[in-house]
Structure 1
Amino acid sequence: MRREDLPGIMEIERASHVDPWRESFFLEELDRPQSRTLVARNGSGMPRVLGYICCWLVADEVQIFNVAVHPAYRRRGLGRRLLLEALGAACRERARTALLEVRRSNRAAQNLYTSLGFRPTGLRPDYYEGVREPAVLMELEMDRPWRSRWLAVEEER
């Protein structure tokens, strides 16, 4: 992520979340050594920023905090590609586990995460502000079989 990505990121953030992150949250990510924020950009047109994923790599875990895609580019596999890029980078940095939470009502995201090997591990009641809603906790063990699948996907690109 670069500072000049922020206007596009904020546009997507506001369109994607009931309780969006403030711009200051994203600015803080620029200075955190554990932060890994990837941005999908449009090379020649508008919108310039198509999507992003924010995560932290701490020890052997990657915690995924925020994934969003511009509304005009959803359902085209961009979210999956962002996740695969982030998980692949974490894998190369020796992560063994990926963790995230997702709104219980966000079935599309849960289906995407499940298709990548995440499994539900718990529920946090009333986790989200605004519209009170539980978070489904999900985990991916990035073991040898998963690493082999990921490497096969990367070779196809």
Structure 2
Amino acid sequence: MADNIGRQEDGSGNGDLLGPGDALSAGLQRIEPGLEYLSRVVDFDKRIFGRDAWPRAVWRYELAQRGRYMAYVEANGEIAALGAIAGVPEAEVLTVGVDPRWRRRGLARRLLRELLDIALDQGAVVVFLEVRARDRGAQALYEQQGFRAVGRRPQYYHDDDALIMRWDA
């Protein structure tokens, strides 16, 4: 209960609380990115995901495609949190990541909600994502937002399987 001190409900009616990340998430940007974001996105991805980061060539391909959308938050001139989504009528969350210095502030939840809003705005009827089979925290976040596990990809990551999760609009 102590972590609720100084917080207030966000007014959405779902009991969410405003916390220390809300000032950051208030500055969330929604964009249809291009190659001008390549270096920043690649640097962020490497910093957050290490060995599991996408190669620069994959990000170059993704950012050059139409119908890719990103939501991100900056702090101190750096990307603090980033999410990306693509596709209609079946959308796929390409990534959700938060810099360790900015975790536990609700940014991942805020990014995911923004990505789902983007998917709905674009006409998606279903959204898929992959998550590490051992990452119970991320799975709990996705389940709280209505995703459910529907499959598994063995050795999707260099040291772990991926759960495939689905969200229906």
TM-score range (shorter-chain normalised) is: 0.7 to 0.9
1:50 aligned residue (73, 80, 88): 80
8 A Cα contact 1:102 1:110, kept in partner: yes
Q: Write out aligned runs for 1:7-156 (5 A).
A: 7-17=39-49, 18-42=51-75, 45-46=76-77, 48-58=78-88, 60-128=89-157, 130-131=158-159, 133-142=160-169
8 A Cα contact 2:98 2:107, kept in partner: yes
Where do 5+ consecutive residues of structure 2 fail to align? 1-32
Give the deviation of 1:30 after TM superposition: 2.3
Change (3 A) 1:30 1:12: closer
Deviation digits for residues 39-95 of structure 1 (CA, Å, limit 9, x no counterpart): 2223xx24x21111122123x121112111111111111111111111101112211
Please give the alpha-carbon distance, in whole angstroms, between the structure 1 residues aligned to 2:132 and 2:155: 10
Moved more, 77-86 or 4-13: 4-13
State, as a whole percentage, how many aligned pairs show the same letter. 32
**Cα RMSD (Å) of the superposition?**
1.8
Change (3 A) 1:8 1:34: closer
8 A Cα contact 2:125 2:168, kept in partner: yes
Please give the alpha-carbon distance, in whole angstroms, between the structure 1 residues aligned to 2:134 and 2:142: 14
**Normalising to structure 1: TM-score of the pair?**
0.77
Change (3 A) 1:75 1:5: farther
8 A Cα contact 1:36 1:57, kept in partner: no
Q: Secondary structure at the match of 1:105?
A: coil
Give the deviation of 1:136 after TM superposition: 0.6
Change (3 A) 1:141 1:80: same
Where do 5+ consecutive residues of structure 1 fail to align? 143-157
**Normalising to structure 2: TM-score of the pair?**
0.72
Deviation digits for residues 10-63 of structure 1 (CA, Å, limit 9, x no counterpart): 333223223211223222222201212222223xx24x21111122123x1211
Please give the alpha-carbon distance, in whole angstroms, between the structure 1 residues aligned to 2:40 and 2:72: 10
